[in-house]
Amino acid sequence: MATEAEFSSVKIYVPQGSLGVGIFPEEVEYALAWGAHAMALDAGSTDAGAAYLAKGVSKNDRGSVKRDLGFLMDAQQKAGIPLLIGTAAQAGGDMNVDWTRDIALEIAREKGWSPKIAVLYSEQTAETMKAKLTDGKITNLPPLGDLDAATLDNCLHIVALMGPEPYHKALEAGADIIIGGRTSDPAVIAAFALWKGAPAGPSWHAGKIAECGAQSTTANTGQRGVLIEIHKDGFDVQPADPKTKALVTGISAHLLYENKSPWRLTEPGGELDVTKSEYIQLTDNTVRVTGSVWDPKPYTMKLEGATGDLYQSLLIVGIADPKVLAEPEVFHDHMLMRLKERVKTSLGLAEDEFDISLRMYGYNALSGMTPPPGSRPLEIGLMGVFTAGTQELAHAIANACNPYFFHMPIRLGEELPSYGWPFTPAEVDRGPVYQFVLNHVVHIDDPLELVRMEILDVAKAPTEEKAVA
């Protein structure tokens, strides 16, 4: 690992916001001609929900990931520069990492390549985290309360977000390709620059700006790439598509993306402070950023854990009844009350043995807020969500509510209406309900303590990987 005194500048190509969303080959060629020293990108996050961590699967399909990874591995072979991938297969659990690893090995074997591939695992066992909890090393993040051991036991998978240090270890080992488990989005992009001795403030700030590819530029999509050059005083950012532009407004605004503050960003081992950053339109399509500061803090890794111990069934109807459309909120409250009473009387369940929620699409399903006075929907799609401890029970609850869902008038005693079923049978069983249940950090002294690394022998993997750490 180089020091800041030895550092001059480094160029990083970030080809897209999530591996598998679609790479443009001409951008790869443009980035190599520009002289990129490394390629780095994120492959996922929590955006898509807890199911991908709980089930260990990718949101992006295998064919699309293989296509994108094939372009990048080809570029790695041509240019001889490292490729760093964070949060493999959307969620970064061990199964997600292995899924991506196998695709990389498949490509390498098909092409006759022998890159040195490092895989980084950051999945944690409940037992390890319970020991940390007992030692007082796990604290909550607002608004969640203190953690208990039962919550950890209920998690199907738990991951800790890595910082750049595990990637440094892989680079020290000579890795050509690094496939990482759950990682902070900016960390995987900042890692190579930090390893080369770049100052921490510009490195982390550049990592944050480029985390979604070209989203902070006029390209305005995570499918496009971005080029960042980090130097001693700051960094420059430009799109990988020369027809688009990086502008001061978009670059300066991006710190608000998935972050509560426009000035500070908390990461493993410190906090990025951009209160004194300056943004200059260096050229028509390039922005220069200076003045970014890294404030070191005690090292923590954010924990994510997903459960799947509840089950759901759905009912959906379309409503065009003028009486309901005139008073949708009244209808909602009456319907919910009657459905709950129906379940308690017909199935004999107590209030705490099930949950029913109603989503009124066309009225307030997304916001939950009451529309302005005088507004009236043309029609409403009403979705009932029935949750219980087993799939059989969730289905039985939906089944019991079916007649009310189809025929309930806005007030008792009125003529029965009929609402529109889009399909039959009406009950849709969703299976397990996956939820994130952790919003905590684990305090550690060594950034590598909770990370495992393996270096793969392409000729033998995945059955005979050679472990080096």
Give the tens place of pLDDT for each residue, 112-141: 999 999 999 999 999 999 999 999 999 999
Q: What is the mean pLDDT of residues 354-366?
A: 95
Poorest-pLDDT segment among 30-44, 117-131, 220-234, 386-400: 220-234
Q: Tell me the two tokens of residue 57.
A: 């699967």
Poorest-pLDDT segment among 232-246, 260-274, 362-376: 362-376
Dist CA 318 CA 205 (whole Å): 48
* Average pLDDT of every residue of the chain: 94
Q: Quick one: pLDDT at residue 469? A: 39
Give the tens place of pLDDT for each residue, 299-345: 999 999 999 999 999 999 999 999 999 999 999 999 999 999 999 99
Q: Name which of 56, 174, 159 is nearest 114 in CA terms.
A: 174
Q: Name which of 417, 368, 9, 2 is nearest 206 in CA terms.
A: 9
Q: What is the mean pLDDT of residues 73-99?
A: 97
Give the tens place of pLDDT for each residue, 369-392: 888 888 889 999 999 999 999 999
Dist CA 91 CA 228 (whole Å): 25
Dist CA 425 CA 448 (whole Å): 52
Whole-prediction pTM = 0.91
Which pLDDT band holds residue 48 (cuts at 50, 70, 90)?
A: confident
The single-letter code of the amino acid at 413 is G
Q: Quick one: pLDDT at residue 220? A: 75
Dist CA 180 CA 123 (whole Å): 11
CA 204 to the chain's CA centroid: 19
Q: Quick one: pLDDT at residue 461? A: 67
Give the tens place of pLDDT for each residue, 154-169: 999 999 999 999 999 9
Q: What is the mean pLDDT of residues 34-46?
A: 94
Q: Quick one: pLDDT at residue 209? A: 96
Q: Quick one: pLDDT at residue 465? A: 45
Dist CA 154 CA 151 (whole Å): 5
Please answer whether residues 450 and 444 qualify as being in contact, where contact means their C-beta atoms are separated by less than 8 angstroms.
yes
Q: Quick one: pLDDT at residue 463? A: 52
The single-letter code of the amino acid at 410 is I
Task: State yes or no: pLDDT of 89 exceeds 50.
Answer: yes
Dist CA 326 CA 321 (whole Å): 9
The single-letter code of the amino acid at 73 is M
Q: What is the mean pLDDT of residues 212-221?
A: 89
Cα dihedral 430→432→434→438 (10° resolution)? 160
Per-residue HEC secondary structure of the chain comes to: CCCHHHCCEEEEEECCCCCCCCCCHHHHHHHHHHCCCEEEEEEECCCCCCHHHHHCCCCCCHHHHHHHHHHHHHHHHHHCCCEEEEEEEECCCHHHHHHHHHHHHHHHHHHCCCCCEEEEECEECHHHHHHHHHCCCEEECCCCCCCCHHHHHHCCEEEECECCHHHHHHHHCCCCEEEECCECHHHHHHHHHHHCCCCHHHHHHHHHHCCCHHHHCCCCCCCCCEEEEEECCEEEEEECCCCCCCCHHHHHHHHHCCCCCCCEEEECCEEEECCCCEEEEEECCEEEEECCEEEECCCEEEEEEEEEEEEEEEEEEEECCHHHHHCHHHHHHHHHHHHHHHHHHHHCCCHHHEEEEEEEECCCCCCCCCCCCCCCCCCEEEEEEEEECCHHHHHHHHHHHHHHHHHCCCCCCCCCCCCECCCCCCCEEEEEEEEECCCEEEECCCCCCCCEEEEECCCCCCCCCECCC
